[in-house]
C-alpha cells in the first residue's frame, strides 16, 4: 500500500511538474520576446471593441493607431494595454472606448464564456498575472482547463516557430462595406435585436479602472470615448445606467462622446457599427478635430458638440435646398 501511494504521488507530482513546465516556460519566453510595436510616429492609441474598430480609420487620422479588436472586453484589453505601453514609450495619449454595451452583463460572457475565452485567453495568457487567471478559472472552471490546454499548445508552437509577433493580431481598423440599408430585415434583427440583459458586468468595469490606473502610472493621458452609434441602437436603452456608472466610477477621466455624430443610415453597417463610408466621414472629421486641438481644449465636449451641431446645421440646410 505504501509503495502504491508513494509511486502514485510521485507520478502525479512528476506529471504536474511537466505540465507546469509546458505552460510556464513558453509563457515566460513569450512575455519576454513578444513584440507589440507600433509606428514611432503614433502618439495616440485607441483601444476598444468592434465599435471603434469600425469607426476610426487610422489611415485618415494622423499620429493615431487604432488597436481595437472585435468582441474584446476590458479584461483582455488590459493585457494588451500593458504590453503596448511598455514597448512604445512614444505614446502620449490613450483613448479607450466606453459605450453602452460595455456596462452590460453580456461582457461577462465576453470575458469567460467559452467562445470568447478560447480565442482571447491563449493569446494573452503570457501577460496575465495570477489574479487575472484566477478571474477566469473561478468564473468558468469547466472551460478554463480546455482553454489552458489550447493556450499551452498554441504557445508551445509559437515558441517552437519563434513567432513572437503580436502587432498584426492585436487589432486595427476593420473595414465593412455593407450598409444598413443593403442588409435584409432579418439580418438586422438577428444582429441587433438582442435585448439588453439586466445587470452590469462589474468585472468589465473593474478592468477599465485598471486600464486607466495603468496608463496614469505610466504618465499617459487617458480619455474615454464613445464612437458614433445609430439612434436606434438597442443598448441605448441603458443610457441612464450608463451615465450613472460613468459619473460614479469614472468621473475623474474625461469622456469624449461622439455617439451623436450625424451620419445617414447608409453610413452604418448596423446600429452599432459604421461602414466604410461612415468611418471615412467620421475619421476625417475626428482627424481635423485633433488637428484643431481637441485634446488641448478645456471643455472638450463643448468643442465636440459645437462642431457636431455645425455639421447637423449644414446637413439640414443641404437637405432643404436639395428638396426644393
Partner 1 sequence: MLFNSFSFALFLPVVFVLYWFVAGKSLRNQNMILLVASYFFYACWDWRFLFLLVFSTLLDYFTGIKMSGTGTKKVKKRWFWLSVIVNLGFLGVFKYFNFFAASMAVAMANIGLHVNLWTLKVILPVGISFYTFHGLSYVIDIYKGRIEAERHFIDYSLFVSFFPLLVAGPIERATHLLPQVKKARTFDYYAAADGLRQILWGLFKKAVIADQCAEFANTIFNNSSGYTGSTLLLGALFFTFQIYCDFSGYSDMALGIARLFGIDLLRNFAFPYFSRDIAEFWRRWHISLSSWFRDYLYIPLGGSKGSTWAKVRNTFIIFLVSGFWHGANWTFIAWGLLNAIYIMPSIIFNTNRVNLQIVAQGRALPSLREFSQILLTFSLTVFGWIFFRATSIAHAFSYIGRIFSKSLFTVPAFDASRAMVFETLVLIIGFIVVEWNGRENQYAIASLDKLKKRSFRYAFYFSLVLIIFLFMGREQQFIYFQF
- What residues make contact with partner 1 under the rule CB under 8 A? 1, 3-4, 7-8, 11, 14-15, 18-19, 22, 114, 118, 141-143, 145-146, 149, 152-153, 156
Q: How far is CA 176 from the centre of its chain?
A: 18
In the complex with partner 1, which residue's Cβ is closer, 150 or 245? 150
First to last CA, the chain: 97
Sheet holding 64-66, edge to edge: 64-66, 44-47, 93-97, 221-226, 254-257
- The answer for residues whose C-beta is within 8 angstroms of residue 11's C-beta and 6 or more apart is none
In the complex with partner 1, which residue's Cβ is closer, 4 or 322? 4
In the complex with partner 1, which residue's Cβ is closer, 13 or 302? 13
Smallest distance, partner 1 to C-beta of residue 15, A: 5
C-alpha cell at 243: 451615465
Smallest distance, partner 1 to C-beta of residue 160, A: 13
Task: Determine the Cα–Cα distance for residues 44 and 47; give it in Å rounded to an integer.
Answer: 10
Task: Determine the Cα–Cα distance for residues 21 and 2; give it in Å rounded to an integer.
Answer: 28
Smallest distance, partner 1 to C-beta of residue 21, A: 10
In the complex with partner 1, which residue's Cβ is closer, 8 or 62? 8
Smallest distance, partner 1 to C-beta of residue 122, A: 12
Q: Which helix (H) or strand (E) holds 212?
A: helix 202-217
In the complex with partner 1, which residue's Cβ is closer, 149 or 167? 149
In the complex with partner 1, which residue's Cβ is closer, 17 or 318? 17
Residue 319 exposure: Cα atoms within 13 Å on the Cβ side? 7
**244, 250, 255, 259: CA torsion to nearest 10:** -40
Amino acid at each position: 500500500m505504501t509503495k502504491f501511494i508513494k509511486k502514485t504521488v510521485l507520478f502525479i507530482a512528476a506529471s504536474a511538474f511537466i505540465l507546469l513546465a509546458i505552460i510556464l516556460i513558453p509563457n515566460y519566453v513569450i512575455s519576454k520576446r513578444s513584440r507589440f510595436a507600433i509606428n514611432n510616429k503614433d502618439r495616440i492609441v485607441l483601444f476598444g471593441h468592434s465599435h471603434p474598430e469600425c469607426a476610426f480609420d487610422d489611415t485618415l487620422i494622423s499620429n493615431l493607431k487604432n488597436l481595437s479588436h472585435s468582441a474584446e472586453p476590458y479584461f483582455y484589453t488590459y493585457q494588451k494595454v500593458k504590453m503596448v505601453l511598455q514597448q512604445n514609450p512614444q505614446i502620449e495619449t490613450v483613448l479607450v472606448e466606453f459605450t453602452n454595451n460595455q456596462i452590460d452583463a453580456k461582457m461577462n460572457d465576453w470575458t469567460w464564456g467559452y467562445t470568447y475565452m478560447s480565442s482571447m485567453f491563449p493569446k494573452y495568457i503570457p501577460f496575465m498575472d495570477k489574479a487575472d487567471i484566477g478571474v477566469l478559472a473561478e468564473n468558468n472552471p469547466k472551460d478554463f482547463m480546455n482553454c489552458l490546454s489550447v493556450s499551452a499548445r498554441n504557445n508551445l508552437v509559437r515558441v517552437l516557430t519563434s513567432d513572437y509577433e503580436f502587432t498584426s493580431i492585436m487589432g486595427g481598423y476593420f473595414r465593412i462595406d455593407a450598409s444598413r440599408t443593403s442588409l435584409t430585415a432579418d439580418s438586422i434583427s438577428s444582429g441587433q435585436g438582442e435585448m439588453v440583459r439586466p445587470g452590469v458586468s462589474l468585472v468589465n468595469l473593474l478592468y477599465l479602472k485598471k486600464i486607466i490606473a495603468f496608463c496614469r502610472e505610466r504618465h499617459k493621458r487617458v480619455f474615454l470615448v464613445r464612437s458614433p452609434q445609430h439612434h436606434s441602437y438597442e443598448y441605448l436603452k441603458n443610457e441612464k445606467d450608463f451615465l450613472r456608472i460613468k459619473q460614479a466610477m469614472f468621473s475623474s477621466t474625461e469622456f469624449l462622446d461622439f455617439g451623436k455624430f450625424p451620419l445617414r443610415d447608409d453610413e452604418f453597417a448596423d446600429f452599432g457599427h459604421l461602414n466604410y463610408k461612415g468611418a471615412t466621414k467620421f475619421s476625417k472629421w475626428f482627424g481635423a478635430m485633433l488637428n484643431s486641438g481637441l485634446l488641448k481644449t478645456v471643455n472638450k465636449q463643448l468643442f465636440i458638440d459645437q462642431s457636431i451641431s455645425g455639421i447637423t446645421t449644414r446637413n439640414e440646410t443641404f437637405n432643404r435646398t436639395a428638396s426644393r
